[in-house]
Each structure stands twice: as C-alpha cells, then as structure tokens.
C-alpha cells in the first residue's frame, strides 16, 4: 500500500465525491453533507488516522482530523475544503452532473472545480502521509466543511464558533479559490488568492402613506423605493486599487506591456482572457439590486416596499459603502443588514507564500505567480474569526482552452484529470516542505 502516491488516487477520490450529491439549496432542503463526510472520514480511517464527524444540524456534517507534525511548537496549518456544492439542473447539462464521468481526459460533474477537486487532493495527500508514516513539519488540521455555498453557518462558521479547540495553535490556512493557472502575455501564470471582498447583503424598506390608487400621492413607498434602487444600482463606484490588486495589475503589465488605465480598465482586463471575469469586480465596490417586493393590489398604494441589494466591498470599506448606500437611498428608506461577512487581505509575502510558490515551481519551473483578490467569499472568512490567515491555494495547471472561471457554479463543470494529479503533487510538496 505504501507505494500508492497521492496522484494515483486523486482522480478516483474526486469522482467518488462528485457521485455523492451534496447540493446546497440554501434553505436546508438538500441532501446534506453527511454521506460525503462519512466517505471522507472512511478514507482517513482506512489509513489508520482518526477523523471526527460533527453535525451542526441533522445531516449537516463536518469532518476534522489533525496530523501531528515533527515540531509541536510550530504553528499549525489548516488545510480545508467544503463538501457541499451548488445545485445542478440535469437537463441543462450534457452529462449527468453527479455521474463524474471521465471523458476526453476530464472529470465532468458538479463540484469538479468547486471544490471536490481540492477535497480529493487533500484526502489523497493526507493518505500519502499516513501510509508512509511521514510527518509534516508542523501540525496540519485537515477540515471538510458543510454549507460553504450558503455562507457557512452550518459549516465553517459553526465549527469556528462551537468547536474552536479543533483549530488550536493554527495561524494559517489554505483552501479554494487560487493556485490555478492562466496564460497572460504568453506566460503561464498562477493566481494565488491573498484577499477576498467583503459581503454586505442589505435590505431597503421604503415607507410612505397607504391609500387608494386613484388619488394623488406625493408619499408613495413604491416610487420612493424605485428611486433608491435606481440610484444605488446606477451608482458609479470609483476604481480603487488595493495593495493586492495593484501588485496583480503591475504583474500583468510586466507580462503584457499593457499599462493599467483606471479610466478604461477593459484594455488591461482584455489581456486576461476569461480570468477577467474574476478580476474585473475586484477593482471597485459593487452594489447590485437583486430583488423587489411591494404592494398587493393594483389599486392600493402600499405603506411600504422592499428591495435587496447585494454589496461586495473592497477590503476595509464595509462601513464606507454602507454610508454611501444610506445616502443614495435617501430619506424614508431604511437600510439594514440581512447578512454580512468580512473582507480579507494579507501581504503576498512570508514563509507560507514562499513555500506555495516553491511548490508550484517544483512542478512548473519558471512559472509566474501573482496575488489576486477574490470577488466572492470562502470559509477563510470564518477561520479569520480565530485569527487564522487564509489563502486560496488549490493548485491546478490548466489548459488554455478550458474556461476555468466559467466552471464555477456553471453548466458542464469539469476539470482535467492531469490538472488534479498536478495539484496533488504540488500540495504534497507544500505540506512536506512547509
Ligand atoms: Zn467553493
């Protein structure tokens, strides 16, 4: 058994994970993560380690195991993935989204890139350590969380709040979404995620005077709400470069010779191919109206009307954005939080960053590595509550023709088997050397 390398079983593990449907509809109606958690725990126990499964609610299962390192005084590293996936509509797909078919060298299925690929790499690498009796340099806490796709209340957030002792001694973490390659200016470049935008989901409630629809109304909640939503939705947020984004754009300029023009960001973004989708929204705050609700009959002016706004804030700007949204909403419109989560940003420097770059170079010498900001969020937000610094590092060397950023939550999600094997080797090198 000891000669089974992580890359030998990472594809099979990824396929088996995809075949366990863990669709997260966000309302608790899905199958939950219990079966996937038992599968992961089984793989861990098979190689002689213990794994703890704990549920935040019936069926909402998380798995954590700790591997002791050579130096118990060194800070621990959390290596984590989420077990849930976003739902998939079968009739839109060209294959069974839970079939995990291996076709043309790719694994097809929901979770192939988000993120049963990385879950499989983590499990394969962990099993490699356990089988050979090798010890990492520091304690490694391997965690597989539920509910990331709905904000993590039943997963990472629950684990951090209710079971903080599991993460004792940990100062850093790695997980999705980074470490993947893109070709920029003809040069293969890996994007390492060192920052995440914050999330502010806001509710607007406009008030007015209820009345008959045939009368003159100067105090109409629907009119007031419509104005607020228009002002917020059309607001032109300025381009603002954080240290991470600046470093990323400077790197792109170096590779392409194209300078960044804040008045016309598309010129440089067009150099990025499909990665522009990930980067474009990290140059500014965004405030998108996403839902309207108000009224109940054609000839009745309602007393109130409601809208939801999805705001994604640059690191450190959550309060600032709220203030501006309040101003734009105007009088007679209450603005409140439905959900909020922090932004993150850490320097693209330090031993862990160096080790991630070295691990990539061990498989792809000479490749460029740049930091970038994620426009969405990950479970690293929850771990940050324990003072743990998180990075996005799920290493994948990708062929240019794959629209990787379009795979996330997309139809016909798929990942090349060779990319997975590459990722398993890089992760193994990282956890061996760091
Ligand atoms: Zn994910």
Q: What is the pLDDT of residues 405-428, one digit of tens each?
A: 999 999 999 999 999 999 999 999
Q: What spacing in Å lies between the alpha carbon of 174 and ligand 1's midpoint?
A: 13
Could you give the number of structural domains in the chain?
A: 2
Spatial separation of the C-alpha atoms in residues 243 and 249, rounded to whole Å: 10
Same domain as 199, residue 156? no
Domain boundary among 295, 313, 341: 341
Residues 267 and 384 in one domain: no
Distance (angstroms) between ligand 1 centre and the Cα of 325 equals 28
pLDDT of residue 274 exceeding 90, the answer is no
CB 275 within 8 A of CB 182: yes
Q: Does the structure show a pLDDT above 70 at 207?
A: yes
Q: How far is the CA of 113 from the centre of ligand 1 (A)?
A: 8
pLDDT digits (tens, 9 = 90+) for 157-181: 999 999 999 999 999 999 999 999 9
Nearest to 225, CA basis, from 300, 309, 339:
309
DSSP 314-335: -TT-HHHHHHHHHHHH-TTEEE
pLDDT of residue 2: 56
> Does 73 have pLDDT greater than 70?
yes
Q: Are residues 208 and 294 in the same domain?
A: yes
Same domain, 242 and 118: no
Q: How far is the CA of 352 from the centre of ligand 1 (A)?
A: 22
Question: Structural domain of residue 19, as residue ranges?
Answer: 6-177+377-433
User: Looking at the structure, do residues 111 and 230 belong to the same domain, yes or no?
Assistant: no
CA of 323 to the centre of ligand 1 (A): 30
Tell me the C-alpha distance between 67 and 50, whole Å: 9
Asked if residue 310 belongs to a domain, the reply is yes
The CA 378 to ligand 1 mean position distance, Å, reads 7
pLDDT of residue 138: 98
- What pLDDT score does 350 carry? 97
Residue 355 covered by a domain: no
Q: What is the pLDDT of residue 273?
A: 87
pLDDT tier at 250 (50, 70, 90 boundaries)?
Answer: very high
Beta strands in 158-257 (DSSP E): 170-175, 180-184, 187-196, 198-207, 211-212
User: Where does the pLDDT of residue 277 fall: very low under 50, low under 70, confident under 90, or very high at 90 and above?
Assistant: confident
The mean pLDDT value of the chain amounts to 96
Quote the CA–CA distance of 59 and 28 in Å, as a whole number: 10
Q: Is the pLDDT of residue 1 over 70?
A: no
* 216-221 average pLDDT score: 95
353 within domain boundaries: no
Q: For residue 243, how many other CB atoms are within 10 A of its CB?
A: 16
| % of the chain surpassing 70 pLDDT | 100
Residues 12 and 78 in one domain: yes
394 and 427 share one domain: yes
Task: Tell me: do 41 and 145 sit in the same domain.
Answer: yes
Give me the CATH number covering residue 57: 3.40.630.10
Say if residue 132 is in the same domain as residue 13.
yes
| CATH number for position 263 | 3.30.70.360
291 strand-pairing partners: 308
Whether pLDDT at 221 is above 60:
yes
Same-domain pairing of 272 and 398? no
Q: Rounded to two decimals, what is the model's pTM?
A: 0.94
158 and 108 within one domain: yes
pLDDT for the residue 386: 98
Question: Cα of 345 to ligand 1 centre, how many Å?
Answer: 18
* The pLDDT of residue 145: 98
Residue 92: inside a domain: yes
């Amino acid at each position: 058994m000891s000669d089974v390398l992580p890359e030998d079983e990472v594809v099979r593990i990824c396929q088996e994970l995809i075949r366990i449907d863990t669709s997260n509809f966000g309302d608790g109606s899905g199958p939950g993560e219990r079966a996937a958690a038992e599968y992961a725990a089984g793989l861990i126990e098979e190689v002689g380690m213990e794994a703890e499964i704990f549920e935040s609610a019936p069926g909402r299962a998380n798995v954590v195991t700790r591997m002791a390192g050579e130096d118990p005084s060194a800070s621990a590293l959390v290596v984590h993935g989420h077990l849930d996936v976003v739902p998939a509509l079968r009739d839109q797909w060209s294959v069974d989204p839970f079939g995990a078919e291996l076709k043309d060298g790719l694994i097809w299925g929901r979770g192939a890139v988000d993120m049963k690929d990385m879950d499989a790499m983590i499990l394969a690498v962990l099993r490699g350590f356990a089988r050979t009796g090798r010890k990492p340099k520091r304690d490694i806490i391997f965690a597989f969380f539920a509910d990331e796709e709905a904000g993590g209340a039943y997963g990472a957030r629950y684990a951090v709040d209710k079971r903080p002792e599991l993460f004792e001694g940990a100062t850093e973490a790695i997980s999705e979404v980074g470490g993947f390659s893109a070709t920029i200016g003809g040069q293969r470049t890996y994007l390492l995620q060192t920052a995440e935008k914050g999330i502010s989901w806001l509710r607007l409630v406009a008030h007015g005077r209820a009345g008959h629809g045939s009368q003159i109304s100067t105090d109409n909640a629907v009119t007031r709400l419509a104005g607020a939503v228009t002002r917020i939705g059309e607001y032109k947020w300025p381009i603002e470069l954080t240290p991470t984004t600046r470093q990323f754009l400077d790197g792109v300029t170096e590779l392409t010779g194209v300078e960044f023009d804040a008045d016309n960001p598309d010129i440089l973004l067009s150099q990025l191919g499909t990665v522009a989708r990930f980067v474009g929204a990290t140059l500014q705050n965004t405030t998108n109206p996403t839902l309207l609700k108000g009224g109940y009959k054609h000839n009745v002016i309602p007393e109130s009307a409601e809208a939801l706004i999805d705001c994604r804030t640059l690191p450190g700007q959550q309060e600032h954005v709220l203030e501006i949204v309040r101003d734009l909403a105007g009088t007679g419109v209450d603005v409140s939080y439905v959900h909020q989560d922090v932004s993150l940003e850490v320097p693209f420097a330090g031993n862990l960053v160096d080790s991630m770059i070295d691990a990539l170079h061990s498989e792809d010498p000479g490749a460029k590595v740049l930091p970038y900001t994620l426009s969405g969020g990950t479970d690293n937000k929850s771990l940050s509550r324990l003072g743990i610094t998180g990075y996005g590092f799920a290493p994948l060397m990708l062929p240019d023709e794959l629209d990787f950023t379009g795979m996330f939550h997309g139809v016909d999600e798929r990942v090349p088997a060779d990319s997975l094997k590459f990722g398993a080797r890089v992760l193994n090198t990282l956890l061996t050397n760091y």
